Amino acid sequence: MSTVEPGYEEAPQRPGPDVVRQVARQRFGIGRLHREQERAIGSILAGRDVLLILPTGGGKSLVYQLPSLLLSRPTVVVSPLLALLEDQYLKLLQLNVPAVRLDSTVGAADRRAALARIAQGGSLLVLTTPETLAGAELGALLEKQPPGLVAVDEAHCVSEWGHDFRPAYLALGQRLAGLQAGKEQAQILALTATATSQVRDDIVRYLGLRDPEVIASSPHRHNLMFSVRHVQGDEKLRQLAKLGRRLPRPGIVYCSTTKTVEDVWLALRLIKVPCARYHGKMTDKDRTEHQARFMKKGKRIVMVATSAFGLGIDKPDIRYIVHYQAPASLERYLQEAGRAGRDGHAARCILLFDESDLAIQEHLLALSRLSPALLGRFGRALEAYAGEDRDANIEELALSAGISQRAATSLVTTLVEAGVCERVDGGRIHPLVPLETLVERVAGLRSRFEVLRREDGRRLRAVVEYANETGCRSVALRRYFGDEDPTPCGRCDLCRTHGVMPPQRSGGRRHHHPGRGRDRRPWTEQRPPADGVAADAPRVPFGGDGGERRRRRRRRRRGGHHGRPGDAMAGQSQTPIAAQAPPPAMAPLPSVLPPLDAAADDLAAELGAPGLPPEPTAVPIAGAPQGPGAPHRRRRRRRRRGHGPRPHAVPPADPQA
């Protein structure tokens, strides 16, 4: 008989793969998980830290939403995107998944209720931002009630080698180190859509991942078809006009500046392309209205927007993404292009490349990045006031550093996010670290921004190399992110030009729906024997030439048939279907573009778009009767051949009379 020592607790049994699949099917309506999702969830439930790299639309959110229902302690999700947090929170409520949200937009009453719910513990999903997690209120509560899992979204923001470095993630790393120091250590899940080898190393180091399992997928989904068109000057707008009129909607056109958004939006409206717009200079009401119009289910319009649009947006049926101007990096390009084709169907990702657009990106990057020199001068001014045990305001620090108040405000925001100082009463700045540590922290932050500026230039050169690629676009993107797989995609513009076929994907379709995708070709087996038809009659396609089916449809529409049924049936029983002479018919029309508004044709021609398609005209078959009375004669002939003369038929009026 075995005995159990006092104080011993049996380790809880971890859910297996069958339980994970059952929860995914019952709670989230997902019949089958991706291979990367299943690996990541299994590693989390096994107690390991995970670095997950999945492309945009690859299902990263499910990797922490599903375990939150199976873990006995809360799951904390950290994301810098407020729109994404709000969108996920509303969807989780619809799925009856326990969740609370804590960020700067939450009111006082809801904030107190959320904190009380976190204090209760249990299975719970906490959606928050890096700034809120680094605060004293939530941080102190999590030290008392440690979470079971901390999921860090957009983890590339912790690295200066990444395209979107955020100092707030440095303070996040320090907070995570405190959560891992207790008795009940929290697991860390780092998620990102794109990460080079240097960014991966920084994520592991700064977020404190312990022997993590690194799960990386291809940087883009297989259903995306990449292409680049080299255009200059006004030719770019002409190309966009052609694409806007020909490509299936909905789609997104990304521009770098708000002025370009307005110009492109107006041009598309003038050629009658239904479109909406989105940029930072619009009012909140207008942005919400245009976004709601685009997101409406079944609405097929074009959204013209800056890179601010798309964060937290989940519209699965976007058929194309056009970058009207070159992006600042391939990381951003893939992140925006990945918003197309989330339903699994083919989608186009088109870059209209003009080298003059690179100057716009250089200017925008110079405005958005902090100057390392200004940061060093501001740090010395803050150090001087801290040495005198004084808290200075923005005006005093700006005057001491010799910079503008606007630049000083931006620098203070960066230092506050990095946890170097804080704002206190009266608008004054109080250092949070000792004097000797303050100098070191500011110097380290300055070196990070110097690396960031150098990397901005390297990323712009990578965009030029991608546009001038001569092999395969997908191979070039994979090579940039450290994947050396040389298999061409067979779908990009270069592969189609070289005649490269797409690789065969193993496994085929995941699900088979009865009645969908069945063979709709004509039945070539022998028809069932009928009265007067030999069983060894010639094997013809089911329905012959289609004349008999058309006659049956006409009889049903008339509610019966005229003439002599016996003669008609006798004729059908004595003459094989293949021997019946087909009625004179119109030749099939060539496929044309959908009809467009004639009022837009002149303007479209000025923009270089193709003209309106010709009106469908019938192409008569040689030998068929022509003239004004020909349709009437053909109808009478068909009636006589099938059913004999129609009784009491009134002869048609002579059009020449």
- pTM recorded for the entire structure: 0.67
Q: What is the pLDDT of residues 522-551, one digit of tens each?
A: 333 343 443 343 444 444 444 444 567 777
DSSP assignment of 168-192:
HHHHHHHHHHHHHSSSSPPEEEEEE
Mean pLDDT, residues 20-29 taken together: 90
Q: 17-216 has which CATH code?
A: 3.40.50.300
What is the average pLDDT score of the chain?
77
Classify strands 213-216 and 275-278 as parallel, antiparallel or unpaired: unpaired
* Helix axis angle, 62-70 to 17-27, nearest 10°: 110
| Superfamily of domain 224-364 in the CATH hierarchy | P-loop containing nucleotide triphosphate hydrolases (3.40.50.300)
Give the pLDDT score at 506.
53
**Candidate from 42-46, 214-218, 270-274, 546-550 with smallest mean pLDDT:** 546-550
Distance CA(31)–CA(605), nearest Å, equals 49
Element (H, E) at 78: strand 75-78
Q: Is 498 helix (H, G, I), strand (E, B) or coil?
A: helix
Please tell me the distance from the alpha carbon of residue 238 to that of residue 598, in angstroms, as a whole number. 18
Domains 17-216 and 224-364 equal at CATH topology level? yes
Higher pLDDT, 201 or 599: 201
Using pLDDT thresholds of 50, 70 and 90, give the confidence band for residue 224. very high
Asked if 522 and 543 touch (Cβ cutoff 8 Å), the reply is yes
pLDDT band of 135, cuts 50, 70, 90: confident
pLDDT: which is higher, 205 or 174: 205
The CATH architecture assigned to 369-462 reads Orthogonal Bundle (1.10)
pLDDT digits (tens, 9 = 90+) for 359-407: 888 888 877 777 788 888 888 888 888 888 888 888 888 888 888 888 8
Cβ neighbours around 522 below 10 Å, total: 11
Q: Which two tokens stand for residue 625?
A: 């009767």
Angle subtended at Cα 27 by Cα 11 and Cα 101, rounded to the nearest 5 degrees: 85
Per-residue pLDDT, averaged over 130-147, amounts to 82
Residue-level pLDDT at 445: 82
Cis status, amide bond into 584, omega within 30 of 0:
no
Give the pLDDT of residue 325: 92
Domains of the chain by residue range? 17-216, 224-364, 369-462
- Whether residue 618 has pLDDT greater than 50: no
